[in-house]
Amino acid sequence: MRSPDFAASMPPTPSAIASSSCSHCSDVRRTATKVRSVNPAQFYNLLNPWGHSDDFYLDLVMHAETVVDIGCGTGTLLHRARETGHRGRLIGIDPDDDMLAMARRRDDIEWQTATASDVRGVAADLVTMTGHAFQTLASDDDLTSSLRAIVGSMAAGGRFAFETRNPMVQPWTRWDEEFTVSDDRGDTLTVTRQVVSVQDQIVTFDETFSIPTLSEQKVVRSSLRFLTVDNLSTALRSAGLVIEEQFGNWDRSPVTPESPEIITIASTPTAG
Q: Residues 211-223: what's their mean pLDDT?
A: 86
More confident residue, 209 or 263: 263
DSSP-derived pairing of the beta strands 154-165 and 177-182: unpaired
Q: Residues 168-191: what's their mean pLDDT?
A: 91
Residue 104 has a pLDDT of 96
More confident residue, 161 or 26: 161
Residue 32 has a pLDDT of 31
Residue 36 has a pLDDT of 56
Tell me: pLDDT of 242 over 50: yes
State the Cα–Cα distance between residues 102 and 4, nearest whole angstrom. Answer: 15
More confident residue, 218 or 83: 83
Q: pLDDT exceeding 70 applies to what percent of the chain?
A: 85
CA atoms 150, 88, 71, 93: torsion sign: negative
More confident residue, 231 or 43: 231
Alpha helices in 104-256 (DSSP H): 140-152, 229-238
Least confident among 10-24, 90-104, 139-153, 254-268:
10-24
For residue 45, give Cα distances in angstroms to 106, 110, 129. 16, 20, 17
Residue 40 has a pLDDT of 72
| CB neighbourhood size of 234 (10 A) | 12
State the Cα–Cα distance between residues 246 and 235, nearest whole angstrom. Answer: 15
| pLDDT tens digits along 41-57 | 888 888 888 999 999 99
| CB neighbourhood size of 216 (10 A) | 18
Q: Residues 141-153: what's their mean pLDDT?
A: 97
β strands within the chain, DSSP E: 25-30, 66-70, 89-94, 110-113, 124-129, 154-165, 177-182, 188-199, 202-210, 216-225, 242-247, 261-267
Residue 5 has a pLDDT of 52
Q: If 0-12 CB within 10 Å is exposed, 13-18 middle and 19+ buried, where does residue 198 land?
A: middle
Model confidence at 16, pLDDT cuts 50, 70, 90, reads very low
Partnered with residue 203 across adjacent β-strands are 198, 224
Secondary structure of residue 258 in the 3-state scheme: coil
Model confidence at 86, pLDDT cuts 50, 70, 90, reads very high
**What are the structural domains of the chain?**
29-44+169-225 (3.30.1300), 46-167+226-267 (3.40.50.150)
Residue 211 has a pLDDT of 86
Residue type, 111: W
Average pLDDT of every residue of the chain:
87
Tell me: pLDDT of 157 over 90: yes
